[in-house]
């Protein structure tokens, strides 16, 4: 370098022309870029997990509501079934459709003994009851229709 003119002489060793370039600046920029990318990735992962958590919470609430509705529907159907199976409802339907049904007379009830796989002749004394529904006649032979 010339002291009088303050001009850089390109012929001097170790001095470059143009802008100065330090190798530690490139390393610093690379490290900063890596740190920023790690921070961005962590931020993105957190936002994505929060979104997924909220989505699953909404789906859980929807499914819970659907289960509650199904349970309510089941309870309603059970109550309706019990109403339809009640003796008062059956009697009203018998009268409404003018069916020729009537209650069983005690003389029509016979008791049967149960054997393994076979049905025995009627007797008086077993726990199983069988009603003879044939026009009010009592069978004297003991055979069951």
Rg of the Cα atoms in the chain: 48
**CA dihedral for 38, 43, 48, 50, sign (positive or negative):** positive
Share of the chain above pLDDT 90, in %: 45
pLDDT at 64: 97
Res 12 pLDDT > 80:
no
The residue among 112, 116, 114, 118 whose CA lies nearest residue 142 is 112
Task: Compute the mean pLDDT over every residue in the chain, rounded to the nearest whole number.
Answer: 78
């Amino acid at each position: 370098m010339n002291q009088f003119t303050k001009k850089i002489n390109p012929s001097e060793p170790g001095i470059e022309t143009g802008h100065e370039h330090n190798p530690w600046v490139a390393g610093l920029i690379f490290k900063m870029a890596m740190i920023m990318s790690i921070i961005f990735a962590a931020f993105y992962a957190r936002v994505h997990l929060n979104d997924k958590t909220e989505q699953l919470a909404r789906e859980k609430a929807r499914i819970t509501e659907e289960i509650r509705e199904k349970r309510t529907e089941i309870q309603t159907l059970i109550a309706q079934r019990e109403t339809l199976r009640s003796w008062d409802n059956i009697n009203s339907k018998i009268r409404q459709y003018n069916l020729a049904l009537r209650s069983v007379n005690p003389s029509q009830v016979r008791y049967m003994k149960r054997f393994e796989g076979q049905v025995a002749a009627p007797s008086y004394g077993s726990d199983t009851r069988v009603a003879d529904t044939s026009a009010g006649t009592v069978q004297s032979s003991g055979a069951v229709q």
